[in-house]
Structure 1
Amino acid sequence: MTERQTDPIRPTDDEARALARDLIATARHAALGVSAADTGAPMVTRIALVPGPDGVPLSLISTLSSHTGALQANPACSLLIGEPGPRGDPLTHPRLTLQARAEAADKSALKDHYLSLYPKARLYYDFSDFQLVRFTPDMALLNGGFGRAYRLSAADLAP
């Protein structure tokens, strides 16, 4: 950076931590970014999402989907959480980008928890091609709206 440029990232504070945790806690879907297993090209898809009992995001994904193969080849991924509100410029609404690692979660042990937050999944939760995935954050970037950017560690996201 030159002297004229200033770092747009604000120091992480309790308000930023709380907003990031709230985005994770209330999200019921997210955009998942992975690297395609065959080409390494970026790929994005929408997934259902719930917070785990420990606040770490969980998703039920089908082994038939291309993003599952991509995660098996390279578990490093990204989640974009947060939706524009019903009014105004979409860029003024908070969103959180998680850089994470996907790992298998205990589908049987977390069934009641997952379904309590995402009851529509009851239709397919027990299908054999679905697995529960845990997205363990490495770090996150929070955009709380114009001029409100923060870099958060995994510890900042812990409840």
Structure 2
Amino acid sequence: MTLLKSLFVAALLSVSFAAVAHEYEVGELHIDHPWSREMPPSAPTAAAYFIIHNKGATADRLVSVDTPFAGKAEMHEHVDQNGLMKMQQVPFVNVPAGGEATFAPMAYHVMLFNLKQQGKDGERFPLTLHFEKAGAVTVQVAVQKEAPAAQHDMSQHQQ
């Protein structure tokens, strides 16, 4: 019976991990786990995060994003200006050959304005990423109460 229970627990854990983890490919680019934090119903904006891995030998760049979930989607970054953190829009984000671009809290992120509705934990919404070379890919952004464990402390990003 103990072996059966162990197998059952392992199966449950792998199913719950599969429900949380999701990945997308476009050309040589691999997009890991797009997510957004659940916000209060009155919040006017939200943000989306993910990591883009470039498995190719040629750099690419993310040039725009859009979603039917919001009236407007923009790429932003946090920058330190004289000891004060400031958020600013960026026209593109480079994805170096063999490297990655990280969209995480306090780094690059996609700002969503004029939300059609506020996402709730467990829901997903589409976000289309437009790359200069690889083209477009639509990902499903998972709304979560908390940041994924791997992204809690991510504040480094590449430009």
Q: TM-score normalized by structure 1?
A: 0.26
More helix by share: 1
More strand by share: 2
